[in-house]
Amino acid sequence: MLLDKPVGFTSNQALQTVTRLLNACKAGHSGSLDPIATGLLPLFFGEATKLTQFLLNADKRYWTVFKLGVSTTTYDSEGEVTATRPVTASARDIEKTLVAFRGEIEQIPPMYSAIKHQGEALYKLARAGVEVEREPRKVTVHEIRMLGFQDDLLTLEISCTKGTYIRTLAHDLGEALGCGAHVVQLRRLATGDIPIDRAVTLEQLEALATPAERARLLQPVDSV
């Protein structure tokens, strides 16, 4: 099933909700989304859970809004503000700076992430006030396109490889501009060749009366 994940849900919470609505047993998802994010979250049920890895490796496309001038602990609006700086960059300055973020780049994963350090998730260490050194990771940004810039809010569309942290992209771009930045909105528009307009919402699922009716919205694996 292709779900349009609502804001405020972790990927696992969204999966558990749909699993309950379908009265399913075995379930999994492909490609986590942060609670602040919405958009395409592929869900797999039954024997199809063996195929989650195929979509994990697919490229992703996002629509996002960065708030310039404010840095946070999590690199998004759910974190605590760590610094505020004036924004002096123009749209032209931003366009020039974005050039360095296209193609193969290195990212240092954020502390608030599920990556493990000596068996412990980084976000758990971060919540305990512990920061550890993280190795840079190579990712590829196929395209990063500015859609708008107004009132220190920068709207972008980004196509990238798996493992790209949009939050880190916001943080690094903000540092490159000398003002800091964080993510305030994030929406996944596509995974591989699968667009968001093929997805269903939790509201659509909940509006159906029975698990059998909801199961009709499941898509065969070969269509994904």
Contact in structure between 34 and 167 (CB atoms under 8 Å):
yes
Alpha-helical runs (H) found in 114-165: 122-127
By CB atoms closer than 10 A (0-12, 13-18, 19+), residue 158 is buried
Provide the angle, in degrees to the nearest 10, between the axes of the packed helices 91-98 and 166-177: 120
Tokens 């379908």: give the residue: 22
Residue 107 CA from chain centroid, whole number? 15
Rounded CA-CA distance 222/224 in Å is 5
Query: Would you call 34 a catalytic residue per the annotation?
Result: yes
Which of 45, 36, 31, 30 has the alpha carbon at shortest distance from 6? 36
Instruction: Report the phi/psi class of residue 3: left, alpha or beta, with left for phi > 0 and alpha for psi in -120 to 50.
Output: beta
Which residue among 34, 93, 152, 193 is the active-site one?
34
Contact in structure between 23 and 37 (CB atoms under 8 Å):
no
Residues labelled catalytic: 34
